[in-house]
Amino acid sequence: MISDADVKELEKKANDIRVDIIKMLLEAGSGHTGGPLGMTDIFTALYFHVLNIDPKKPDWIDRDRLILSNGHICPVMYATMAHRGFFPISELMTLRKLGSRLQGHPHRSALPGLETTSGPLGSGLSQSCGVALAGKLNKAKWRVYCLMSDGEQDEGNTWEAVMFAGKYKINNLVALIDRNNIQIDGFTEDIMPLDSLKEKYEAFNWHVIEINGHNFEEIINAYEEAKTIFEKPTLILAHTIPGKGVDFMENKYEWHGKPPNKEEAEKALAQLKR
C-alpha cells in the first residue's frame, strides 16, 4: 500500500515533469507530445517508487533494468531521469540538438542509466526477454521492466517475444502497454484493431493486470502484484490519456508526433501550473 502523502508527492512530481516536457519540446521545435504526457504518471511511479536503482551508480550490477521499446516517447524518460538525479535538469533543454546526449530516440552509450538504444518499434520486448532470461540463468534478484506502445502491437516481432516469454515462464519480466488508443496515423482500432489485448496475452501464458495508468495506487499495486507471480511473465495493460493534463491535446492523435508552438506551449503550461 502507498500512503496518501506519498501519492500527493508523486502527483506533484509528475506535474513538474509534464511542465519540463512541454518546455523541452518547445525548445527543440520537434518531437512527440501525446505519449510523453500520457506516460508521465507511469514513469514517475517507476523511477520514484518501484525501480531498485541508484542514480549515483547507474551501472550497479543489482539494479532493475528498464527497457523503453517505444523510444519516441523519450522526452518523458529524459525528464524523469533528470528529476531522479541521473543528470542535470538544465540539460533537458538540449533535447534533439546537435551533439546533445538527449537525442530523439535514446542512445544507450550517450547517457548513464539507459539500458538499450531504441527506435524501431517492436524490438523492446524481445530485448527484454533476452535480458530477463540472462538474469534468471544467473539467479539474479533484479527484474526487467519493459514499456511498450499499443501501436507497436501491430509488429510481428512483438508477438514472437510474447510467445517466447510465455513458453520459458520468464517471471522476472514485467511488460507494460501504454493503451492510449492512438498512433501517428490515427486511432489504433481504425488502423489495426488490437482488442482484446488482455485475452491475447493470456492465451500466450501471461498474467495480465488492467489498470488506470493515471492512478498511482493502481500503478504501484500492479507492480507489487507482479512480484507475486512466479509461473509466468506479467503484462500491465495501462489505460492512459495521450496528452494528459492539457485539455486541447488529450485524446487527439494529431499530437502523437508534433511539438507545441510558443502559443500552444504557453496555454499548456498555464494549465499545468494551476
Segment 123-136, tens digit of pLDDT = 999 999 999 999 99
Q: Dig out the grid coordinates for 99 from the structure.
A: 551533439
Among residues 146, 147, 150, the alpha carbon closest in space to that of 184 is found at: 150
The pLDDT-based confidence of 119 (bands split at 50, 70, 90) is: confident
The stretches of the chain forming alpha helices (DSSP H) are: 4-28, 34-38, 40-45, 74-84, 124-137, 156-167, 188-191, 197-203, 216-226, 262-272
- For the chain, the residue count is 274
Tell whether the model's pLDDT for residue 71 goes beyond 80: yes
Which pLDDT score is estimated for 37? 98
Tell whether the model's pLDDT for residue 274 goes beyond 80: no
- Give the mean model confidence (pLDDT) for residues 126-151: 98
The pLDDT-based confidence of 156 (bands split at 50, 70, 90) is: very high
Tens digit of each residue's pLDDT (9 = 90 or more) over 229-268: 999 999 999 999 999 999 999 999 999 999 999 999 999 9
Helix axes 156-167, 124-137, angle to 10 degrees: 20
Residues facing residue 30 across a β-bridge: none
Among residues 274, 246, 241, the alpha carbon closest in space to that of 260 is found at: 246
Tell whether the model's pLDDT for residue 1 goes beyond 80: no
Among residues 220, 236, 228, the alpha carbon closest in space to that of 47 is found at: 220
- Its pTM stands at 0.97
The CATH classification number of 4-272 equals 3.40.50.970
Residues 6 or more apart from 13 whose CB is under 8 A from it?
44, 48, 83
Tell whether the model's pLDDT for residue 25 goes beyond 90: yes
Tell whether the model's pLDDT for residue 181 goes beyond 80: yes
Tell whether the model's pLDDT for residue 138 goes beyond 80: yes
Cα separation, 226 vs 222, whole angstroms: 6
Q: What is the mean pLDDT of the chain?
A: 97
Tell whether the model's pLDDT for residue 161 goes beyond 90: yes
Tell whether the model's pLDDT for residue 62 goes beyond 90: yes
The pLDDT-based confidence of 69 (bands split at 50, 70, 90) is: very high
- Give the mean model confidence (pLDDT) for residues 27-48: 98
Which pLDDT score is estimated for 120? 84
Three-state SS annotation for 131-185: HHHHHHHCCCCCCEEEEEECHHHHCHHHHHHHHHHHHCCCCCEEEEEEECCEECC
Distances (CA, A) of 133 to 39, 62, 161, 175, 235: 26, 15, 12, 14, 16
Amino acid in the structure at residue 115: E
Distances (CA, A) of 263 to 75, 248, 269, 270: 20, 12, 10, 11
Among residues 214, 216, 213, the alpha carbon closest in space to that of 10 is found at: 216
Which pLDDT score is estimated for 65? 98
Which residue ranges make up each domain of the chain?
4-272
- Give the mean model confidence (pLDDT) for residues 34-59: 98
The pLDDT-based confidence of 273 (bands split at 50, 70, 90) is: confident
Tell whether the model's pLDDT for residue 177 goes beyond 80: yes
The reply to whether omega before 126 is within 30° of 0 (cis) is: no
